Amino acid sequence: MLIAQISDTHILARALDHPAAKLRADCLRRCIADINQQRPDAVIFTGDTVQHGQPEEYARLRELLAPLDAPLYLVSGNRDDNGALRSAFGDHSNLPGNGDFLHYVVEDHELRLVAIDSTSPGERKGVFCPARQAWLDAVLSDQPDRPTLLFIHHPPFDVGDHYVGGYRRPEEAAALADVVSRHPQVRGLLCGHVHWPVERQWAGTEARIMPSVAVDLRKGVDETEARERPIYMLHRLSEETGFVSQARRVDAEA
């Protein structure tokens, strides 16, 4: 199964007279054009879709995402507003229309996809409270033999000096690792938030953090080579090859 991942686009409203508004929109537009050429089975968007959680930002985001051919699965980041995101993407049948959390399961693909909500209003750090712990454990217990991919905004582990103590409570990050380690059908965890590329083993599976699509916010990438070129990820997962990730640098003419 081929999955494209985008993250941390931090889209601003069209009316905002700020160079970053045009730049970030252009980064996403170019990624979408290239993703369509790659023909992935699904596109996963790991949050911080917009900058301030405002309806006019989500309106702009929808315009930019409209050309996307593949099915799109979103989770929110700390910059998102779950209510505004729900309103803007009310036609996305996988998104729960009510309830406290924007988490859900997608059963339509070779891999089972599980979206985990690590946000809480007014909280910059990740949250994985007991209610979410119980939900994820029940979801994963439901189909223990089906290969599964998880996605979430906040990575539940530290990244060098750049991202330390990223969860509201350390025990909540530890609880996520504990749940995942008890379900060996989990093939991986895709994250955003840090704007920095990381690949590591975690909780008995593979974890990936991708850099921000917004190039003005990106960290940890060789900027002498590719300052102007947005990056998204292509993840290929199969029983034969395992979990293979490629960073796609998108040309201006894409």
Task: Give the binding site for Fe ion (CB under 5 A).
Answer: 8, 48
Asked if residues 12 and 24 have their Cβ atoms less than 8 Å apart, the reply is yes
Closest distance of CB 142 from Fe ion, Å = 31
Task: Decide the pairing of beta strands 2-6 and 42-46.
Answer: parallel
Nearest residue (CB) to Fe ion, 12 versus 139: 12
Instruction: Name the residue nearer to Fe ion (CB basis): 140 or 198.
Output: 198
Minimum CB separation from Fe ion for residue 5, in Å? 14
**CA angle (99 as vertex; 42, 135 as ends), nearest 5:** 70
- Taking the least distance from each CB to Fe ion, the nearer of 102 and 139 is 102
Nearest approach in angstroms of CB 17 to Fe ion is 22
254 CB neighbour count, 10 Å cutoff: 17
What tokens appear for 231 in the block? 């990056």
CB 220, CB 202: distance < 8 Å: no
Q: Where are the alpha helices (DSSP H) in 76-189?
A: 82-88, 130-142, 170-181
If the CB atoms of residues 112 and 230 are measured against Fe ion, the closer one turns out to be 230
CB of 53 to Fe ion, least distance (A): 12
Give the helix/strand (H/E) hosting 19. Answer: helix 19-38
CB 117 within 8 A of CB 80: no
Q: Which is nearer to Fe ion, 75 or 139 (CB)?
A: 75
Distance CA 104, CA 77 (A): 15
What is the closest distance, in whole angstroms, from the C-beta atom of residue 247 to Fe ion in the complex? 17
Nearest distance, CB of residue 65 and Fe ion, angstroms: 17
Asked if residues 252 and 227 have their Cβ atoms less than 8 Å apart, the reply is: no
User: In the complex with Fe ion, which residue's Cβ is closer, 2 or 23?
Assistant: 23
Residue nearest to Fe ion (CB): 48
Between 135 and 157, CB nearer to Fe ion: 157
| Three-state secondary-structure class, residue 33 | helix
Query: Measured from the CB of residue 215, what is the shortest distance to Fe ion in angstroms?
Result: 13
| CA gap 16, 39 in Å, rounded | 33
Determine the 3-state secondary structure of 55 from DSSP.
helix
User: 23 and 249 in contact (C-beta within 8 Å)?
Assistant: no
